[in-house]
Amino acid sequence: MTDTARTRMAAATTALLALVALTGCAGVGAGGAPASSGERTAEASTAPGREAALDPDTVLDCQGIELTAGALVERTPATALPAELAALLEDSPVVPIDDLDDWFVAVERDDHVVLMREIDPPLDLGGGDVRDFDLFSASASPGAMPIDDTWGVDASTSCTPRIDLGGRTPAMLALDPEALPQPGDRELELLATEWTCNAGEPATGRIEVIDVEETSTTVELVVGVAPNPGNHDCPSNPPTPFTVELDHELGDRVILDASVVPAHELVEFGAIG
C-alpha cells in the first residue's frame, strides 16, 4: 500500500466510525482496540486450516458481518468480481481498495459484497484480541456511506471470524499471569474479557466453558459468556478468572481459543503474542 493510499484509507476509516458500530464493548475503544492498549502489531500463533474442518455452510461472524467457513477456504479472488463493481470499489472516495489482488470475496450478492484480506502478521491488540483479517463491506443500503447512486460502504474494520456460541456472547481469552500453566497441570487458570457492554464489571458467574477438545498436541477451548440482561454502559470490562479442568496433564500441548477461526494460541494477559 502506498503512503498516499494509507492516508486516504485512514481518513476514510475515521469518517466511517459512526457507521461501523460492529464491535462489542468489552474493554474496547475506537476501532475495537482495548481501551487500555495501543494498537500493536505482532505475531500471533494460529492453527491454520481449522476452517477447512468446518462444514462449508457454517456461518461465522466477523465484527457483525456474517460469512461462511467455505468462503474462508475458497477465497475467491476479488478480481473475479464484475469489472464495473471492482473498479467502483477500487476508486471509492469513501474507503478505496488500493490493491484488489490482495483481497478475496467473503460474501457476494446482488446487493451486498464483503471483501477480506489476511493480515500478516495478525494485529494483536492485547488481552486476547487478535485480528486476522481486514474487512470491507459494501451494500445497496440506505444506511451505507454512498459511493455512487447504488452502492455504499457500510463497514471497514479488522476482525477474526467467530463461531456461533449458541446465545452466549464472545470473550477474549488469555493466560492468567498469576497462574501460568505448567506441564503437570490438569486445571488451567485463565482470564476471559467479556466482549459486550457490561458497565465495566467482570463476568463473574456467567463464563461458560462450552467445549474442551484435547488432542495429543492441543487443548482447544470454546468459551462464551451468558448475557447479562438489561442495558449497560460500555467502559472497559476487566478480565474475569475462570478454571478449565482437563482429562490429562497439560504436558507440552498448546492451549487454543477455538471459538475463532483460525484458532488462536492463548498468551499471557497483557502480553503480545
Beta-bridge mates of residue 107 = 114
The answer on pLDDT for 9 being more than 90 is no
> Helical H runs in 75-121?
83-90
Mean pLDDT calculated for residue range 244-258: 98
Written as nine digits, the cell of 243 is 478454571
Its pTM stands at 0.77
Mean pLDDT calculated for residue range 156-164: 95
Count of other CB atoms within 10 angstroms of residue 189: 16
Instruction: For residue 186, give Cα distances in angstroms to 189, 244, 250.
Output: 10, 8, 6
| pLDDT tens figures, 42-84 | 333 334 455 557 899 999 999 999 999 999 999 999 999 999 9
- The per-residue DSSP string of 36-66 comes to TS---B----EETTHHHHS-TT-EEEETTEE
Residue 7, helix vs strand vs coil: helix
In this structure, is the dihedral angle defined by the CA atoms of residues 144, 146, 151 and 155, taken in order, positive or negative? negative
The answer on pLDDT for 90 being more than 90 is no
Average per-residue pLDDT in the chain? 82
| pLDDT tens figures, 110-127 | 999 999 999 999 999 888
Given this model, what pLDDT does residue 272 score?
A: 59
Question: Predicted confidence band at 94 (pLDDT cuts at 50, 70, 90)?
Answer: confident
Contact 204, 262 (CB under 8 A): no
Mean pLDDT calculated for residue range 76-98: 89
Question: Predicted confidence band at 19 (pLDDT cuts at 50, 70, 90)?
Answer: very low
Given this model, what pLDDT does residue 3 score?
A: 40
Q: What is the DSSP letter of 32?
A: G
Instruction: For residue 249, give Cα distances in angstroms to 183, 188, 209, 215, 219.
Output: 7, 10, 18, 12, 11
% of the chain exceeding 70 in pLDDT = 79
Is the pLDDT higher at 270 or at 74?
74
Contact 117, 102 (CB under 8 A): yes
| pLDDT tens figures, 178-209 | 999 999 999 999 999 998 887 888 999 999 99
Which of 197-210 are b and which e, b meaning 16 or more Cβ less than 10 Å from the residue's Cβ?
bbebebbeebbbbe
Is the pLDDT higher at 97 or at 103?
103
Given this model, what pLDDT does residue 128 score?
A: 84
Q: How far apart are CA 125 and CA 118, in angstroms?
A: 16
